[in-house]
Each structure stands twice: as C-alpha cells, then as structure tokens.
Structure 1
C-alpha cells in the first residue's frame, strides 16, 4: 500500500525542469542521496508560503535541493554545508552553471563544526533544512535551534528511515543504533515546548517544525 501511494503521488508531480531532471538522473546513476521529488515538492510549497530571506541547508550533496529551493524562494540567500570534498566541488559546479553562486554559498566541512562556527557568529535563518548524517540529527537540532528565528521553520528529511522507525519487525543489527536515535529525535521534536511539529509520511518521512514566537 505504501509503495502504491508513493507511486500515485509521484505521478501527480509536475515534470522536473531541465537542470533538475539532469541532476536527478545523475544522482540515480551515481548513487548520490538527494531529497525525493515528493518531499522536494513539499519543501518547495512551504518556501513559497514562508518566503524566507535566509536559508541554512545541512547537507548539500551535489547542490540539487539548494537550487530547487530557489524555485520556491527566488530572493532567498542560502548557506549550505557539505562534508564530502568531491560533492562539494560538484555542487559548486552545478550552482555556477545555473548562475546561482551569488545566492548560494557552499561551505566545506563537518556539519556540526560549521554550524557551531555559524552560531558563534550569531547567524540567523528563517528556514533550516537538515538532510545530512541521520545519526547526528539531535546535534544538528541543538545547533540549529540557536540560529532559527522565532516563527522560523525547521525541516528534517528521512525521519522514518525506510519505514524502520515505525516497523514492528526486527530492525537489522547494522541499523539499530541509527533507528534508536531517529526515534528519540522524532519524540523530542513532537514534545519540544518551543516547537510545533508534524511528521509527514511521504517518501522517507519529513518532519516540519514551526518555532514558536513566544513561550
């Protein structure tokens, strides 16, 4: 049933633009983990409604999601972090080809370390999108919370991780620690007094958290 729903939702999506389709095909062939199209469509919609000025993305990969985010918030400035040197340079190339290098700044380094540096510089963002090492989501949240403005939106991808987070079946041993951390992360988000969160079961699961303006 879940696969059927996913296929149906995918069939309703508008066709990707030229550069997006090119990057989607590249990611599929080269096994680059990028955001799924349905989740990207949701993110696009939220950015259209929010119209943020400053976006922080944790996990650039090849620059696909950063470029697509500008479709929903064309005047935004995006800071995005990538740890892998090869993907960092691929992202720089892809962003440059679309002439978006003035709006999208790619930072190379460990996400937590770079986020800490940004927090120390008192950087503030209207939207923060987390799509990096899933075992570090709590660390990323703690740092993101310092930089997300009241009324801002925190979006986290892959929070249901292949259905293993909610499955009643035994989790493979190699994923047990990761699944335990994701379960704790989801529970933290849903019960955090400073946020209002919804977890949306599309693709690999997306959480959307609104930072309350007053406690």
Structure 2
C-alpha cells in the first residue's frame, strides 16, 4: 500500500535528508559503580569511607580541569580575607616614588627675573613673545595690501569675465519682465 501525497505521488519519491551520525558525550560519574570491575573490587569500594570517596572525586576533577593543580590552589588562596585599612591603602597608592618630587634645579630668568627651571625656557618670557606675535598677526589681517592701478592696467591684469548678450539681458530683466500687481491692503477699520 502506498501513501499518496498530492502531485508528488508516493513517499519514496520525496527527497531524503542526509542521515547525521549520533553524537554521544559520556561524562563520568564518580559516585556510580564501575561496571567492568570484579565483585571483589566492588565490595572494596563499598567499604571505603566517605572521606576517601571525596578525595577520589577531587583527584579526578583536578585531572579533568583545564587549570593546572598548583595554579588552581593558588587562585583559591589569593582571595583577600580582610578589608585593607585606610593607612595601608594610602601607603600603597602614594609611595615615595609616586608622589611629587621636589625640584632642585631652579634658577632666575636673566631677562625678566622670574623663577624658571634650569635648561628650560622661562614661561613668562614665552607668553610675552606669543602675545607680541598675536598682536602682529591681528594688525596684518586688518590691513590687506591694496594695489593702486589705473583702469587700463586693471583690465590687463584682471580681465574678468566677459558677459554674453543673454547674460546682459538677464541682468536687465526688471525692465522687460512683467510682474503680477500687488493686491491692495484690506482696511479692517470701519
């Protein structure tokens, strides 16, 4: 007997999906009895104390873990047991090497007399030079250079754009373009 499914016909004509292999992951249970051991071994494992079973489980877990044994024990012991006191925390964060150090290489500037570090520029003098440069830059921007030329020279140097007849006509469109007349204003006062 064949099962008919519409226009496809029988089930045998349907496309088959590929068969995937079964994936089985076996996780060992340390508390389960071993099946391949002899009856004498089973009796011995039953008589073991709870402490020995736990030790066995811990040993198996260490073998299966990704972290090496010594590192794992070190991580467990690296947890702080008590809160760090304020003075110890300050001592750790602000040790002598992390604090501001005194400057012993200070001199006076020979030009202005302000205190400066030796072999460095005096910041007071540097700021004065900057302000002079700024004022000079502002003055030069305010007065652009203007060249005085007569009309003939200007036409030679700056010939400019020559307008076509059409562009001239567009500039003068106010004369020939008709516009709609504006409406009269409505007086609302009566």
Task: Give the shorter-chain TM-score range.
Answer: under 0.3
- Normalized per residue, the structure richer in strand is 1
TM norm structure 2: 0.14
- Normalized per residue, the structure richer in helix is 1
Whose relative contact order is higher, 1 or 2, with alpha carbons under 8 Å and at least 6 apart? 1
TM norm structure 1: 0.13
Q: Which structure has the larger Rg over C-alpha atoms?
A: 2
